[in-house]
Amino acid sequence: MSKLRAIIRYVSLFAALILTVSLLSGCGTSAEGQGSNKLKLRIADISTNPIFRVAKSKGIFDKHGIDAELVTFATPAEGINSLFIKQVDVAFGADYPLINAVSKGDYSIFASSGSATDQGAKEWKLYVRNEIKSAEDLKGKKLSFSRGTFIPYLWDVYLSENGVSLSEVELIGQGAFDEAYVALQKGEIDATWIYGAVLNEKFSALEEAHELTDMSQTPVRLGTGLIATNEVLDNNQEGMVAFLKALDEASEYSQANPDETADILYEEVKQPKRSYAEGPAQ
């Protein structure tokens, strides 16, 4: 199975969709098959997510009556934050930032994946500088985390299970995985958690660092979901169902056509094709 499918397991929130009752109930104007009367949605995306790009480039959004604009961010958490300033209408991300967003008021999680599995956890890797051989060696070190994500919690759990407290390390907030890559290479940080086949390939090539462990060795498990404003959901109930149908179709297409999906990502965001040609680490 290709590395693309490992990525799809994370960003494909759609094989086991759980729609909220409020979304499926009530009446609204159906988006599917409306021709020019399409539901316009600005969707937060990241460069390593194939699903939205496949749905757009293969005309799947159009088929289901969705006029989609993809807005690319460095991390899903940044996409979720963009909801607050109305830069996007829909975002996806992990449990922790989603729940934090909902707590702010006028937002709802309208689909989730049930992806909080051991296999999914294995795809989160901990890369450290070469002199670090165990968790105890992290004492006094600089540990990276992506702002607005669950990573500080993961650090807390991982360290405490290995007899190290947060007070014994320095957490360094960073905006994106690329920033962490450069910092780890230069020795500005000593450790960072990363996710996905593309990043794993990139970080594993670093001469200055190595993989120490993965998240499956901790009790932390991470689900994912889709979030939108209540206004968007209430005013476009059937249209949002059509949106989810489009994503489900795009997910199936991506898994059935990994080479073509790799081509789409390469053409649009220059993701290396070789990242999807090899099987994921098990």
* CATH number of the domain residue 197 falls in: 3.40.190.10
The domain of 191 spans 122-217
pLDDT digits (tens, 9 = 90+) for 16-72: 344 433 344 444 433 444 445 899 999 999 887 889 999 999 999 999 999 999 999
58 in Cβ contact with 106 (< 8 Å): no
Place of tokens 């460095």: 74
Nearest to 281 by CA among 203, 205, 202, 197: 197
Please indicate, yes or no, whether residues 151 and 105 belong to a single structural domain of this protein. Answer: no
Please indicate, yes or no, whether residues 104 and 19 belong to a single structural domain of this protein. Answer: yes
Supply the pLDDT for residue 64: 97
Positive/negative CA dihedral, 48, 49, 52, 57: positive
Quick one: tokens of 45? Answer: 């995306």
181 in Cβ contact with 204 (< 8 Å): no
pLDDT exceeds 90 at position 197: no
Please indicate, yes or no, whether residues 11 and 46 belong to a single structural domain of this protein. Answer: yes
Count of domains forming the chain: 2
Please indicate, yes or no, whether residues 97 and 39 belong to a single structural domain of this protein. Answer: yes
Chain length of the chain: 282
Does residue 282 lie in a domain region?
no
Does residue 176 lie in a domain region?
yes
222 in Cβ contact with 121 (< 8 Å): yes
Last residue of a domain, one of 187, 217, 247: 217
Please indicate, yes or no, whether residues 200 and 181 belong to a single structural domain of this protein. Answer: yes
Please indicate, yes or no, whether residues 14 and 100 belong to a single structural domain of this protein. Answer: yes
Please indicate, yes or no, whether residues 19 and 107 belong to a single structural domain of this protein. Answer: yes
CA distance 47 to 78: 13
Does residue 263 lie in a domain region?
yes
Please indicate, yes or no, whether residues 94 and 179 belong to a single structural domain of this protein. Answer: no
Please indicate, yes or no, whether residues 168 and 240 belong to a single structural domain of this protein. Answer: no
Please indicate, yes or no, whether residues 130 and 182 belong to a single structural domain of this protein. Answer: yes
Confidence of residue 270 (pLDDT cuts 50, 70, 90): low
Question: What are residue 193's DSSP bridge partners?
Answer: 126
What integer is the mean pLDDT of 213-242?
Answer: 92
Question: What are residue 92's DSSP bridge partners?
Answer: 226
CA distance 193 to 213: 10
pLDDT digits (tens, 9 = 90+) for 57-97: 999 999 999 999 999 998 888 899 999 999 999 999 887 78
In three-state secondary structure terms, 245 is helix
Helices (H), the chain: 3-11, 21-24, 50-57, 60-63, 76-84, 95-102, 118-122, 151-161, 177-186, 197-204, 230-235, 237-256, 258-269
- CA-CA distances (angstroms) from residue 112 to 99, 200, 249? 12, 25, 16
Does residue 95 lie in a domain region?
yes
Last residue of a domain, one of 217, 243, 264: 217
Does residue 127 lie in a domain region?
yes
CA distance 19 to 65: 19
Last residue of a domain, one of 197, 217, 237: 217
**Mean pLDDT in the chain?**
82
CA distance 1 to 124: 18
Please indicate, yes or no, whether residues 146 and 107 belong to a single structural domain of this protein. Answer: no
pLDDT exceeds 60 at position 12: no
Does residue 11 lie in a domain region?
yes
Please indicate, yes or no, whether residues 108 and 7 belong to a single structural domain of this protein. Answer: yes
Other C-beta atoms closer than 10 Å to the C-beta of 236 total 22
Does residue 90 lie in a domain region?
yes
Does residue 281 lie in a domain region?
no
